[in-house]
Amino acid sequence: MVFSKDVLKIEPAVETAKIADFVVEHARNTFRRRGVVVGLSGGIDSAVMASLAVQAMGKENVLGLIMPEKESNPVSSSYAAAHAQKLGIEVKEVDLTDAVDAVGSYKQRDEFIASLIPEYTPECKYNIRLPTDLLERSALNFYTLCVELPDGTIKKKRLDPSAFRALTSFANIKIRSRMVRLYFEAETRSMVVAGTTNRTEFLLGDFCKFGDGGTDLEPLSHLYKDQIYQIAEHLDVTEDIRRRTPSPDTFSLPVSDQEFFFRIPFDKLDLLLYAWEHEVPTADAAITTDLDEEAIKRAFADFSSKYRATQHLRDLPYSLPFTQ
């Protein structure tokens, strides 16, 4: 195999037809459902999935569900609504604040953050992030809690594993609440829930078990993020969405996917991930990506670590074998 900067290029028209056939086959024949529900986040993946669902099933058989909660970026809902209007699909917005609060209260979460950074109050905004300069230097893979005080000052606290798990458990309630609502709508309307996880996220574990990872179909999980953008351009996805920086939108203080999880700029990430997945020698990868070999080794090590640590997300629940 020759590894080049063109290795991720696809034929969008061919690919969209293949995905549309896949959606029709499983929605109608496997599940025997009439249509598709897509959770519209205002991001590129869900926008592409909604466009593909229309191509597959017809706009009258697609529901776009927008699910903000009180800390969501307002831009997310506006972008999602604009894209749904452009597609001509039915769209429904459901505020999940009460659902999230009923499972893991915002008050409980705020008290936990205040135990780490005493200056924090419910009026503050926060996120958690990783060092983003993995290609420039070797750095420990630790998360930092960042709190923006009302005067704009940023307070930071390095998180130990238990604190990281506590904060992500609160964030994951939001993601799992979305999936509960998606299935409610799907089951009442005889539809399937279409996932929006791409291959970049799937391989490295950037999805929530029984949240955005709990779906009926995953039509995009074979495509790297770069390839999602190629399809988005082909399908004329709303330009605001195509230009938007990818973000998990689960924290009150905005944070990009690079800052929260990937640690590598998106213009390098997928090419490096492809090289890692296909066991391209580091020397060859360095030449193609214009990076030094040590940077390639750090990236590959990070990919391997994330892949191992998140294998349980890609597996079915573990069980004992049947014995008589």
Question: How far apart are alpha carbons 241 and 232 in whole angstroms?
Answer: 9
Question: How far apart are alpha carbons 63 and 27 in whole angstroms?
Answer: 14
Segment among 57-66, 125-134, 268-277 with least mean pLDDT: 125-134
End-to-end CA distance of the chain: 49
Question: How far apart are alpha carbons 232 and 40 in whole angstroms?
Answer: 14
Query: Contact 164/150 with Cβ under 8 angstroms?
Result: no
Residues contacting residue 25 through CB under 8 Å, at least 6 positions apart: none
Question: How far apart are alpha carbons 236 and 220 in whole angstroms?
Answer: 17
Residues forming a β-bridge with 37: 63, 193
Residue 229 amino acid letter: Y
The CA R_g of the chain, rounded to the nearest whole Å, is 20
Q: At what angle do helices 12-24 and 225-234 cross, to 10 degrees?
A: 100
pLDDT value for 68: 98
- CB-count exposure of residue 267 (10 Å: 0-12, 13-18, 19+): exposed
Tokens of 5: 């900067």
Q: What is the pLDDT of residues 86-112, one digit of tens each?
A: 999 999 999 999 999 999 999 999 999
Question: How far apart are alpha carbons 81 and 75 in whole angstroms?
Answer: 10
Query: How far from 81 is each of 57, 64, 296, 297, CA to CA, in Å?
Result: 20, 9, 40, 42
Residues contacting residue 244 through CB under 8 Å, at least 6 positions apart: 42, 43, 44, 75, 79
pLDDT value for 1: 64
Question: How far apart are alpha carbons 84 and 115 in whole angstroms?
Answer: 41
**What's the average model confidence in pLDDT over 288-299?**
96
- CB-count exposure of residue 82 (10 Å: 0-12, 13-18, 19+): middle
- Helix (H), strand (E) at residue 107: helix 106-116
pLDDT value for 140: 73
pLDDT value for 138: 80
Q: In order of start, what are the domains of the chain with their CATH numbers?
A: 12-102+165-313 (3.40.50.620), 106-164 (no CATH)
Question: How far apart are alpha carbons 240 and 238 in whole angstroms?
Answer: 6
Q: What is the pLDDT of residues 136-158, one digit of tens each?
A: 888 777 899 999 999 999 999 99
Collapsed DSSP state (helix, strand, coil) of residue 318 = coil
Question: How far apart are alpha carbons 296 and 311 in whole angstroms?
Answer: 22
The gap from C-alpha 110 to its chain's centroid, in whole angstroms, comes to: 24
Residue 118 amino acid letter: P
The gap from C-alpha 61 to its chain's centroid, in whole angstroms, comes to: 24
Question: How far apart are alpha carbons 3 and 151 in whole angstroms?
Answer: 49
Q: What is the pLDDT of residues 184-218, one digit of tens each?
A: 999 999 999 999 999 999 999 999 999 999 999 99
